[in-house]
Amino acid sequence: MSSSRSQNRPVRSSKRRRRTPADASAATRDDPSPWESLHEDLLELIAWRVLAGDGDLLDYVRFRAVCPHWRSSTSCPRGRGIVDRRFHPRRWMLLPEGHGLYPGHGKLRGFVRFFNLSTGAFVRVHLPLFRDHCVLDSVDGILLLQRDHDTAIRLLHPFTGDILDFPPLETLLRYVSSKLVGDKWNYLRRIGAASINVSADQVVSLMMWSPEILQIDPPELEGMEPWLPPPTLIAKCPANTVNTSDSRFYHLVECDSEVLVIALSAGIHRKISVYRLADFMLGRRTLRVTCIGGNALFIGQRNLCVSSKAFPTVVGDTIVFHHYQQGYLAQYHLRSGTLEPASDGTIAEYAIPSPTCIIYHIYTCCFREQWNKGHIRFQGLLTINWRVKRKWRSGA
């Protein structure tokens, strides 16, 4: 009897059942990670540190994408991308594609590429509104656009899609002097923009009126009408001498949250000096800067600070500029005081071959007339007109 029972008893398996991925995920859901349960105030503090540090808006977006709790505990940049300066895409520039592929060109299928001057990162964004808009300028990564058919001025945040509308450009025509010779539209669209963030709630624009440096404070509200305070003289550069070969041209550029003054001398043997604006304001005009943190300063109609760590072909602690007398793109080494070509090839005939080095793409960003039309500086004609919609884009 007992033998029959033992024969009918089920045989136990000698091996344990292996855990499957489904079991592991179920256990993870039952035992959440402590990172997912961080307090909301702590998450918000960390998120603002991400924006305020060396990171940028895309780092903040990645931070919010870690888990639903982190996303719900931090502020969404969409809807605040323009009005809140913390969400501005700092250090991001629209990439000039070359070959006349301007934003909105049919071959780009509505996509526009941007690159970061500090990290070297590239992103591709779908912005179909460029079918009837053109770029006038860019500040802090925010694009200043003009709508073609009614000349409406708009600010666009390229990563959040936020748009801020301003009155049409034609409303400014009455402020243009009647004595102006030439196309008034051309004059209006050529006006550039610049700003330097000095605090969390104030923007101060600096204007170079050689040899004086002027500060322009934001408009103030007096009663019902805003008014613009008059410019304030904050520093004065050494004046030029009678000898034109010793003439100097001054430029302002922001580098690592510090405003630098670059002095370029005329003549074949170019001499370049870099000073801190803070020293100029204190009257210390002899303290030259020989190290700018491994960055390179690109000098043109607009001045850019580029990290050499992000772009292998960019040399740190240099000034990149167009040497007009010898016809090449030069780089000046601040420490040694030597001058050499920034890239291979001559630009004397404005016919650098393709494909071009990234240095030429970066340098093109200093010249709005080529940058917003998808052309590369020194590749083709110096003056380029719009191939499409010239009626609305004259001067842009």
Q: What confidence tens digit (pLDDT) does each residue in 98-109 have?
A: 988 999 999 999
Does residue 67 form part of some domain? yes
Backbone angles phi, psi at 107, to 5 degrees: -70, -20
Contact 317, 334 (CB under 8 A): yes
Q: Is the pLDDT of residue 200 over 50?
A: no
Residue 325 is predicted with a pLDDT of: 79
The residue ranking higher by pLDDT, 171 or 382, is 171
Q: Which distant-in-sequence residues (6+ apart) come within 8 Å of 229 by Cβ?
A: 216, 217, 219, 220
The overall average pLDDT reported for the chain is: 82
Q: Is the pLDDT of residue 289 over 90?
A: yes
Does residue 69 form part of some domain? yes
Confidence of residue 284 (pLDDT cuts 50, 70, 90): confident
Q: Is the pLDDT of residue 331 over 90?
A: yes
Contact 155, 166 (CB under 8 A): yes
Cα separation, 164 vs 48, whole angstroms: 24
Q: Which distant-in-sequence residues (6+ apart) come within 8 Å of 261 by Cβ?
A: 213, 235, 237, 250, 251, 252, 274, 275, 276, 277, 280
Confidence of residue 12 (pLDDT cuts 50, 70, 90): low
What mean pLDDT is predicted for residues 356-363? 92
Does residue 99 form part of some domain? no
What mean pLDDT is predicted for residues 32-44? 80
Confidence of residue 293 (pLDDT cuts 50, 70, 90): very high
Q: Is the pLDDT of residue 352 over 70?
A: yes
Q: Which distant-in-sequence residues (6+ apart) come within 8 Å of 233 by Cβ?
A: 212, 213, 214, 215
Cα separation, 32 vs 86, whole angstroms: 32
Backbone angles phi, psi at 38, to 5 degrees: -60, 145
| Alpha-carbon 361 to chain mean position | 13
Does residue 340 form part of some domain? no
Does residue 60 form part of some domain? yes
Does residue 177 form part of some domain? no
Q: Is the pLDDT of residue 394 over 50?
A: yes
pTM equals 0.82
Burial of 187 (0-12, 13-18, 19+ CB in 10 A): middle
Q: Is the pLDDT of residue 306 over 90?
A: yes
Provide the percentage of residues in the chain whose pLDDT is more than 70: 79
The residue ranking higher by pLDDT, 59 or 362, is 362
Q: Which two tokens stand for residue 27?
A: 């256990």
Does residue 70 form part of some domain? yes
Does residue 378 form part of some domain? no
Query: Based on the structure, what is the number of domains in the chain?
Result: 1
Residue-range definition of the domain harbouring residue 39: 33-76
Tens of pLDDT along 368-379?
888 999 888 888
What mean pLDDT is predicted for residues 34-41? 81
Residue 10 is predicted with a pLDDT of: 52
